[in-house]
């Protein structure tokens, strides 16, 4: 069995309170401090965080529930969050719910039993029912990437509407008029917003939008492949495609390869996320890049703040951060602008 504080007390002849005080930054006489440190070394003592957690009712652990770990957007965010949280003494329990509402609910319950101090969640259930029970404990929840109406917690989001609008404007400025979109599942807020930006750009530019240019897929690689095939088949006069997440971008590129379509000669493309993948494409892909590191920092920062200040002190004042995306230029857009 591992050594306990009792063992140290026995060995040093000190009381338990003194040892505890030593570990919690209290005042301990220099002489005793040395004695304690010697005992720690000899006994290979290590604080038992489980016991501490039971006593203090705080596990210094945060749960993270995401749709897919095996997804570079999620993975990038988690890497960064975990780093920050661990540097502040918090462990991270990651639960991958495989984009399944039931598994998501189970994950939150699981984390509740584990008594995590807070949960960071990229939600699959767009109603947020899975969070209700956990929220009753008064512990903080931070939503990332996707918003949920009427759930009392903080959110860190991306300005998806603007992201889509910017991408479309880029196409329009280059002279494109028939631009297709491979969008995501309409239940997911990010997909809605990206569709919205897409439509708004058409409106602002004053071009008519043919509904056959709109394709709804499911944010997967396979969805991207299919979306591209459908769009190309339905719209022989389409000159450009906007793909609205990374997996589908990869799928669209696979589709282009398999159909032997030349980019940008035959079709111009703007993809989403993962700069390195964009660089590896030939020609280099122009993409909308989301600020994953920034999302992670903001989310971890808010979580740490809530953890330290408590969630219900005075006015709750839940915040919603909205971060901006950036377009990284490649060579996948053909300029067919007459003036230029």
Partner DNA sequence: ATGAAAGCGCTAACAA
Partner DNA sequence: TTGTTAGCGCTTTCAT
Q: C-alpha dihedral over 35, 38, 40, 41, to 10 degrees? A: 180
Is the CB of 83 or the CB of 309 nearer to a copy of itself?
Answer: 83
Q: Which span (11-19, 72-80, 231-239, 243-251) binds DNA, by CB under 7 A?
A: 11-19
Q: Which span (9-17, 112-120, 201-209, 210-218) binds a copy of itself, by CB under 8 A?
A: 112-120
Burial of 149 (0-12, 13-18, 19+ CB in 10 A): exposed
Helix (H, G, I), strand (E, B) or coil at 312: coil
Helix (H, G, I), strand (E, B) or coil at 203: helix
Q: Which span (10-18, 246-254, 295-303, 324-332) binds DNA, by CB under 7 A?
A: 10-18
> Which of a copy of itself, DNA, none sits in contact with 135, Cβ below 5 to 8 A by type?
none
C-alpha–C-alpha distance, residues 118 and 194, integer Å: 30
C-alpha–C-alpha distance, residues 147 and 318, integer Å: 13
Q: Is 281 in the site for a copy of itself (CB under 8 A)?
A: yes
For residue 149, how many C-alpha atoms fall within 13 Å in the half-sphere facing its CB? 3
Shortest gap between Cβ of 39 and DNA (angstroms)? 12
Q: Which span (17-25, 168-176, 249-257, 304-312) binds a copy of itself, by CB under 8 A?
A: 249-257
Given a contact cutoff of 8 angstroms between Cβ atoms, the answer to whether 241 and 268 are in contact is yes
**What is the distance of C-alpha 219 from the center of its chain?**
15
Q: Is 95 in the site for a copy of itself (CB under 8 A)?
A: yes
Is the CB of 139 or the CB of 334 nearer to DNA?
Answer: 139
Among 43, 53, 135, 301, binds a copy of itself (CB under 8 A): 53
Given a contact cutoff of 8 angstroms between Cβ atoms, the answer to whether 223 and 256 are in contact is no
DSSP E strand stretches across 160-305: 179-183, 214-216, 240-243, 268-272, 286-289
> Which of DNA, a copy of itself, none sits in contact with 204, Cβ below 5 to 8 A by type?
none
| First-residue to last-residue Cα distance in the chain | 77
Q: Is 102 in the site for a copy of itself (CB under 8 A)?
A: no
Given a contact cutoff of 8 angstroms between Cβ atoms, the answer to whether 255 and 225 are in contact is yes
Q: What residues between 212 and 241 interact with a copy of itself by CB under 8 A? A: 221
Site string for DNA, 15-34 (x = CB under 7 A): xxxxxxx-xx-xxxx-xx--
Q: What residues between 125 and 164 interact with a copy of itself by CB under 8 A? A: 133, 136-137
> Peptide bond preceding 264: is omega within 30 degrees of 0, i.e. cis?
yes
Helix (H, G, I), strand (E, B) or coil at 305: helix
The residue behind tokens 């971890």 is 300
Among 54, 319, 329, 335, binds a copy of itself (CB under 8 A): 54
Interface residues with DNA (CB under 7 A) are 1-2, 4-6, 13-21, 23-24, 26-29, 31-32, 47-48, 51-52, 54-57
Interface residues with a copy of itself (CB under 8 A) are 1-2, 44, 46-51, 53-54, 57, 59, 61, 68-72, 75-76, 78-79, 82-83, 86, 91-96, 98, 107, 109-115, 133, 136-137, 221, 250, 253-254, 257, 276-277, 279-284
């Amino acid at each position: 069995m591992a050594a306990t504080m009792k063992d140290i007390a026995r060995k040093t002849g000190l009381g338990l309170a003194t040892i505890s005080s030593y570990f919690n930054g209290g005042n301990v006489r220099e002489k005793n401090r040395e004695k304690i440190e010697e005992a720690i070394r000899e006994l290979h003592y290590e604080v038992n965080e489980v016991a501490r957690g039971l006593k203090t009712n705080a596990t210094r652990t945060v749960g993270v529930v995401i749709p897919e770990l095996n997804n570079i957007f999620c993975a990038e965010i988690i890497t960064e969050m975990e780093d920050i949280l661990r540097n502040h003494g918090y462990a991270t329990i990651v639960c991958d719910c495989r984009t399944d509402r039931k598994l998501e609910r189970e994950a939150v319950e699981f984390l509740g039993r584990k008594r995590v101090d807070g949960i960071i969640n990229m939600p699959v259930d767009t109603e947020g029912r899975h969070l209700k029970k956990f929220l009753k404990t008064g512990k903080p929840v931070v939503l990332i990437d996707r918003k949920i109406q009427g759930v009392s917690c903080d959110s860190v989001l991306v300005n998806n509407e603007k992201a889509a609008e910017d991408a479309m404007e880029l196409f329009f400025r280059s002279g494109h008029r028939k631009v297709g979109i491979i969008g995501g599942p309409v239940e997911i807020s990010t997909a809605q917003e990206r569709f919205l930006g897409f439509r708004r750009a058409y409106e602002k530019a004053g071009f008519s939008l043919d509904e056959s240019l709109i394709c709804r897929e499911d944010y997967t690689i396979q969805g991207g492949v299919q979306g591209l095939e459908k769009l190309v088949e339905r719209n022989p006069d389409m000159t450009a495609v906007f793909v609205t997440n990374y997996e589908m971008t990869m799928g669209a590129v696979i589709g282009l390869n398999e159909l032997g379509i030349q980019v940008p000669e035959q079709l111009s493309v703007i993809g989403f996320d993962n700069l390195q993948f964009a660089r590896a494409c030939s020609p280099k892909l122009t993409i909308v890049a989301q600020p994953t590191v920034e999302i992670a920092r903001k989310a971890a920062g808010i979580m740490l703040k809530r953890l330290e200040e408590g969630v219900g002190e005075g006015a709750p004042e839940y915040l919603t951060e909205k971060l901006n995306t950036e377009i990284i230029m490649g060579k996948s857009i053909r300029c067919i602008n007459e003036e230029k």
